[in-house]
Amino acid sequence: MAYEQLILPGGYRSRLNIMETEAAIKLAKDTFERELASALNLTRVSAPLFVRPETGLNDDLNGVERPVQFDVRDLHSDVQIVHSLAKWKRMALGRYGFSAGSGLYTDMNAIRRDEDLDNLHSIYVDQWDWEKVITREDRNVDTLRDTVCRIMQALRRTQEVLTARFPVLDPYLPENITFLTSQQLEDEYPDLTPKDRENAAAQKYGAIFVSQIGGKLRSGKPHDGRAPDYDDWSLNGDILIWYPVLGRALEISSMGIRVDENTLLSQLEEADCMQRLSLPFHQMLLNGELPLTIGGGIGQSRLCMMLLEKAHIGEVQASVWPELMYQACDRAGIHLL
């Protein structure tokens, strides 16, 4: 299955050798981390690799992915490696006393054992998870759009630094990003799958933000799956860049304004997940014990792959791949770490 999804660009050759690649990875990560923190007023904090399942803190993603779980002898119970830190970050903002307009970011590492492996997806996930406190008045589309534009500015600034250091790289990121709802995409491309709609729109505009992901469209199907208890499905979305190396859209961030007590209830009911209301995180939210926030994740290896113009995420990240993928990539001049 993984081999069938693999894209092997004809005539591909990495623009950087392996030592240049390692230097560029560090420069990209250091630069973007600094730019992101400045753009969104974020402070770096430490974060957990695993959480107790009974807390409800783990991200359920699309609701079908199995977390890696193991027992801890002295706890006499199991813990789960996080899928993401969407809920943990919100609790941390309250515990640490962050005020409106400020927030945190952290290095998040995860294992997603059920990921379909291809050029963009690995079982090892590394991303910057960030979260920022907002007011109830800030829970609107303008706040979401302004945040997206600030992230794009940090991306472009990082690209400028990289291309100055490594002139062989192309500064291909567009100046502007186009905002589209998932319903607008379905209306414009009714005969395409959601992923093909994203590809068509990203190729047309260069960079897009697809919003309102999770709820059902007029076709009766959602654009994509989202857990019902962290993003507000009317105020979330994905940043996608048209990536010429692979000839497809590349998602660089999933983000959104988080649920308040009202949207939590309505989305849990729509998703038939009302049993989650008994979990500690959900009780805290309903009782007004958690701040209102906006947040997201930005893939570190995904960003490096994109800015270094690599054909496979395994060129910037050491992971494991099927043997057929190793062989096919090697024949195509794609050297996996």
Q: Which residues are catalytic?
A: 59, 112, 127, 238, 251, 254
| 330: Cβ contacts below 8 Å, ≥ 6 apart | 336
Q: What is the CA radius of gyration of the chain?
A: 20
The answer to whether the beta carbons of residues 31 and 55 sit under 8 Å apart is: no
Residue given tokens 């400028």 in the structure block: 160
Q: How far apart are CA 317 and CA 267, in angstroms?
A: 36
Distance of CA 111 to the CA centre of its chain: 14
Q: How far apart are CA 281 and CA 57, in angstroms?
A: 7
Q: How far apart are CA 314 and CA 96, in angstroms?
A: 36
Closest CA to 216 of 144, 276, 270, 272: 270
Q: How far apart are CA 58 and CA 66, in angstroms?
A: 11
- Joined tokens for residue 228: 């019902």
DSSP letters of 257-326? EEP-HHHHHHHHHHTT-GGGGGSHHHHHHHTT-S--EEEEEEEHHHHHHHHTT-S-GGGTS-----HHHH
The answer to whether the beta carbons of residues 63 and 227 sit under 8 Å apart is: yes
